[in-house]
Amino acid sequence: MLSSRIAYGTPVVHSFRKRTSSPGKIKATFKTTIITVAILLTAYGIFFSNYFKIKEIIIADENFENQIIGEQIKENLKSALNKNIFFTKTGELEFSVLKKIPELEKVTISKNYPSTIEIEFLKYPLVANIINESSNLKKNYIVNSIGYATKEDFENPSLPYIHIKSDEPINTKKTVIEQKKLQYILDAAKNFEDKFGMKIKEIIYKPIPKEVHLFTEKNFYIWLDMQIPSENQFRKLKKALAKLDIYKENLNYIDLRIAGGNGDKIIYKRR
């Protein structure tokens, strides 16, 4: 049979090539194994190791002034301790702090790997002293720009004084004065000082009739209706200066709340 295949010209080739792995293939397999092991170890470190659990909460630029509020923030964030730092959502923590501590205008939480979170915060500025007289108590507070009392039994002489009478003592768990009303009061006092060159010694706020009484350095009051822009009411007083010398007259009060037929009427009382 073989002779017949040779006779017809068909060559017979026998291949006995040895099957062995090349050095390049061994190297690639080893590299893949190393990478896989590294990935597994990294995943273990991230998911299961204590190395990346939050162990410390620190306040950036902590000082005596910020010590109390810093401790409040740390107390609020205790739930984050021993949580995995990779999966901790700083935005949610910031929202929680702002919701529970109204003195804060802004909070920034940063991750310092492997196991620390750092807090930076900005407080609302303090804008006024509040003197509250209720039926059986007199208390002093300092309020911030959104109307929350942040300090009790303290005064800051560099800030305006706002006097409030009420049946019950002020509830410091909510705003002492609504932010818009507080801004109206402070703007009215500043506008008067700027327009008339006369200092305001004290402000009386009457919540129910929605009135503000500005007590001037000349010892008379300016009565304002908080439902009307203070600029409009001061414009009436400016026009009246030709007939009423507020700098020399011995006045008890000037009432700018009541508008006459032309809107420029004012009422005043001498002592």
Please name which of 252, 246, 249, 214 lies closest in space to residue 230, comparing C-alpha atoms. 214
Q: Are residues 119 and 136 in the same domain?
A: no
Position 20 in a domain: no
Q: Which of these ranges, 40-44, 171-175, 180-184, 222-226, has the smallest mean pLDDT? A: 40-44
- Using the CB atoms, write b or e for 98-109: b if 16+ within 10 Å: beebbbbeebeb
The answer to whether position 214 is within a domain reads: yes
Q: Give residue 234's pLDDT.
A: 97
The verdict on residue 43 lying in a domain is no
Q: Please tell me whether residues 148 and 113 are part of one structural domain.
A: no
User: How many Å apart are CA 144 and CA 159, to the nearest integer?
Assistant: 11
The count of C-alpha atoms lying within 13 angstroms of the C-alpha of 265, restricted to the half-sphere facing its C-beta, is 7
- Cα distance between residue 119 and residue 109, in whole Å: 5
Find all residues with CB under 8 Å of 73, minimum gap 6, and list them: 57, 59, 97, 101, 107, 119, 121
Question: Are 146 and 180 contacting, i.e. CB atoms less than 8 angstroms apart?
Answer: no
Q: Residue 16: its pLDDT value, please? A: 46
Mean pLDDT taken over the chain: 88
User: Residue 255's CB: how many other CB atoms inside 10 A?
Assistant: 18
**pLDDT of 4 above 50:** no
196 and 83 both lie in a single domain: no
> Among 46-50, 152-156, 164-168, 194-198, which is the least confidently predicted range?
46-50
DSSP string, 172-199: TTS-SS-HHHHHHHHHHHHHHHHHH---
Same-domain status, 110 and 131: no
Domain hosting residue 73, numbered range: 54-123
The answer to whether residue 6 scores a pLDDT higher than 60 is no
CATH of the domain at 222: 3.40.50.11690
Tens-digit pLDDT profile for residues 242-266: 999 999 999 999 999 986 556 678 8
In this prediction, residue 29 carries a pLDDT of 75
Contact present, 98 and 107 (Cβ < 8 Å) = yes
Number of domains observed in the structure of the chain = 2
The answer, yes or no, to whether residue 36 has pLDDT greater than 80, is: no
254 shares a domain with 152: yes
Is residue 164 located within the same domain as residue 244? yes
